[in-house]
């Protein structure tokens, strides 16, 4: 009996998805709840699990094709039904044993290497298998450069050093190879991110204000309590929890930054759903800390850590990426010294954190070295005045420089 594999509901207002890639091939045996295919929506990448144990039958939609919610994209033959015609080739069986650990560049569940399109062509041209090449791309993916390096290391020299005349030929080949282009379609998530960023520039009156924060007191506090904090809560004490708390403090005093424009109305939110920008293999995602004002330092750090781990594996749920009343983006983890973040519509503000650098600053008439961080606030000038924006950023600075304010509420 064949079971239909249908596109499930993946989130509110999402009517279609793009096939990101099948994790199993036709004829492969699968267990119940084992991921079969990745589905890319405009908000997240999700996996379609097997509804039952069986064997992959007919595949109707291939990678890159679009399917609507509820549409059948393939069939699963239940155990004992149709296995004779779709049984996986026995050649691969000896290569995989229960004890074998997936190599770098292989999917942890399928033990199949993840190969980029250009790398697939390079493998075919050289008559190589993906299993022979160690991947260096994100998540261990095999890149074209990995194949070329492997070929250069393994291929014996073919030219006889009889004359010096043929020497220019390899140089021409290398020059031609260096000017090759790889054209791949933008993922649905990347297209949506691009559209929303352009929308923000076109529909909102964006302006950015800057300040700098002395991180000495927060760094001293982290150093003093980091060990005890980690032992009690099983999570490291980072900077993000301090900034989430400081932003909530500022948003309470300047609620326009926690509001949004709906038509000709301004909607003020009496809750604080803070989006945290996280880089993933598919691009930037912004999971949301719901009711962050009720969360402790440990809950904030633990939740953000969980978001980051699942973002790398494309395991974030669609509802975790929806909504948000204010966003924090930390470009400092990538070394950014200063930037102007873009508001995530329909929000009205985003705080950009940056790298911490020791810089000379003036204190009480003396020049001293302090760990300083530039911060930037981009805001929608349609509903946020300059005075409010500058005052909000100054409040965040004051709270971070004097962390006791978070407890004393002064």
Among residues of the chain, what percentage have pLDDT more than 70? Answer: 81
- Residue 332 belongs to some domain of the structure: yes
Q: Are residues 256 and 340 in the same domain?
A: yes
Give which of 65, 32, 27 is closest to 48, Cα–Cα. 32
Q: Are residues 80 and 108 in the same domain?
A: no
Q: Which domain holds residue 72?
A: 1-88
Q: Are residues 145 and 240 in the same domain?
A: no
What whole-number distance in Å separates Cα of residue 332 and Cα of residue 34?
A: 37
Q: Are residues 252 and 377 in the same domain?
A: yes
Total Cβ atoms within 10 A of residue 52: 14
Q: Are residues 143 and 262 in the same domain?
A: no
**Chain center to CA of 281:** 5
> What is the chain's Cα-based Rg?
26
Average pLDDT of span 164-170 = 51
Q: What is the pTM of this model?
A: 0.64
* Category of 107 on φ-ψ map: left (φ > 0), alpha (ψ -120 to 50) or beta: beta
Residue 83 has pLDDT above 50, yes or no: no
Give the domain-ending residue among 63, 88, 113: 88
Q: What is the mean pLDDT of the chain?
A: 82
Q: Which residue has the tokens 């004359």?
A: 163
What pLDDT, on a 0 to 100 scale, did the predictor assign at position 168? 52
What pLDDT, on a 0 to 100 scale, did the predictor assign at position 93? 47
Residue 399 has pLDDT above 70, yes or no: yes
8 Å CB contact between 217 and 344: no
Q: What is the secondary structure of 163-192 as a DSSP string?
A: -STTTHHHHHHHHHHHT-----PPPHHHHH
Domain count, the chain: 3
Q: What is the secondary structure of 54-102 as a DSSP string?
A: EEEEEE---TT-EEETT-EEEEEEETTSSHHHHPPPGGGGGG--TTPPP
Average pLDDT of span 330-334 = 92
**Chain center to CA of 336:** 18
Name the band, by pLDDT with cuts 50, 70 and 90, for residue 89.
very low
Per-residue pLDDT tens over the stretch 201-223? 888 899 999 999 999 999 999 99
Q: Are residues 265 and 345 in the same domain?
A: yes
Range from 56-60, 138-142, 344-348 carrying the lowest mean pLDDT? 138-142
- Residue 199 belongs to some domain of the structure: no
- Residue 166 belongs to some domain of the structure: no
Indicate which CATH number applies to the domain containing 271.
3.30.559.10
- Residue 167 belongs to some domain of the structure: no
* Residues contacting 369, CB < 8 A, separation 6+: 358, 359, 360, 361
What pLDDT, on a 0 to 100 scale, did the predictor assign at position 166? 54
Q: Are residues 131 and 250 in the same domain?
A: no
- Residue 19 belongs to some domain of the structure: yes
Q: Are residues 243 and 388 in the same domain?
A: yes
Q: Are residues 2 and 44 in the same domain?
A: yes
Per-residue pLDDT tens over the stretch 22-58? 888 888 888 888 888 888 876 677 888 888 888 988 8
What whole-number distance in Å separates Cα of residue 67 and Cα of residue 16?
A: 6
Indicate which CATH number applies to the domain containing 138.
4.10.320.10
Indicate which CATH number applies to the domain containing 52.
2.40.50.100
Q: Are residues 218 and 139 in the same domain?
A: no
Q: Are residues 261 and 367 in the same domain?
A: yes
269 is catalytic: no
- Residue 159 belongs to some domain of the structure: no
Residue 108 has pLDDT above 50, yes or no: no
Among residues of the chain, what percentage have pLDDT more than 90? Answer: 42
Residue 87 has pLDDT above 50, yes or no: no
Range from 154-158, 198-202, 273-277 carrying the lowest mean pLDDT? 154-158
Give the domain-ending residue among 30, 63, 88: 88
8 Å CB contact between 340 and 317: no
* Category of 365 on φ-ψ map: left (φ > 0), alpha (ψ -120 to 50) or beta: left
Name the band, by pLDDT with cuts 50, 70 and 90, for residue 229.
very high
- Residue 109 belongs to some domain of the structure: yes
- Residue 256 belongs to some domain of the structure: yes
Q: Are residues 61 and 128 in the same domain?
A: no
Give me the sign of the Cα torsion angle 131, 136, 139, 142. negative
Catalytic residue among 107, 233, 381, 398: 381
Give the domain-ending residue among 36, 66, 88: 88
Range from 77-86, 177-186, 312-321 carrying the lowest mean pLDDT? 77-86
What pLDDT, on a 0 to 100 scale, did the predictor assign at position 164? 47
Residue 235 has pLDDT above 70, yes or no: yes
249 is catalytic: no
Average pLDDT of span 136-163 = 65
């Amino acid at each position: 009996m064949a079971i239909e594999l249908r596109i499930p509901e993946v989130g509110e207002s999402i009517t279609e998805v793009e096939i990101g890639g099948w994790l199993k091939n036709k004829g492969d045996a699968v267990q119940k709840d084992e991921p079969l295919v990745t589905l890319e929506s405009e908000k997240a990448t999700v996996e379609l699990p097997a509804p039952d144990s069986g064997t992959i039958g007919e595949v109707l939609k291939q990678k890159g094709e679009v399917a609507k919610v509820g549409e059948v994209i393939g069939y699963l033959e239940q155990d004992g039904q149709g296995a004779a015609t779709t049984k996986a080739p026995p050649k691969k069986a000896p290569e995989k044993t229960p004890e074998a650990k997936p190599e770098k560049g292989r999917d942890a569940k399928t033990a199949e290497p993840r190969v980029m399109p250009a790398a697939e062509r390079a493998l075919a041209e050289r008559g190589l298998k993906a299993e022979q090449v160690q991947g260096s791309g994100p998540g261990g993916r095999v890149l074209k450069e990995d194949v070329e390096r492997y070929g250069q290391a393994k291929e014996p020299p073919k030219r006889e050093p009889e004359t010096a005349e043929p020497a220019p030929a390899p140089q021409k080949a290398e020059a031609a190879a260096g000017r090759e282009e790889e054209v791949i379609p933008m993922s649905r998530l990347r297209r949506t991110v691009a559209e929303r960023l352009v929308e923000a520039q076109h529909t909102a009156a964006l302006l950015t204000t800057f300040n700098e924060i002395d991180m000495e007191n927060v760094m001293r506090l982290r150093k003093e309590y980091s060990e005890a904090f980690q032992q009690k809560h099983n999570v490291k004490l980072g900077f993000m929890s301090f900034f989430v708390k400081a932003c909530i403090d500022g948003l309470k005093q300047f609620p326009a930054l926690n509001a949004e424009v709906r038509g000709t109305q301004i909607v003020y939110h009496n809750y604080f759903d803070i989006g945290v920008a996280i880089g993933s293999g598919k691009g930037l995602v912004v999971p949301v800390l719901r009711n962050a004002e009720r969360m402790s330092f440990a809950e904030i750090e633990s939740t953000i850590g969980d978001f980051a781990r699942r973002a790398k594996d494309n395991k974030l749920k669609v509802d975790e990426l929806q909504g948000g009343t204010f966003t924090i983006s930390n470009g400092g983890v990538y070394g950014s010294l200063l930037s102007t973040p873009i508001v995530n519509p329909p929000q009205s503000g985003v705080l950009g954190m940056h790298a911490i650098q020791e810089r000379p600053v003036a204190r009480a008439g003396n020049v001293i070295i302090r760990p300083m961080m530039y911060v930037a606030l981009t805001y929608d000038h349609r509903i946020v005045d300059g005075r409010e924006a500058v005052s909000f950023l100054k409040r965040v600075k004051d709270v971070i420089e004097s962390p006791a304010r978070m407890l004393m509420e002064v």
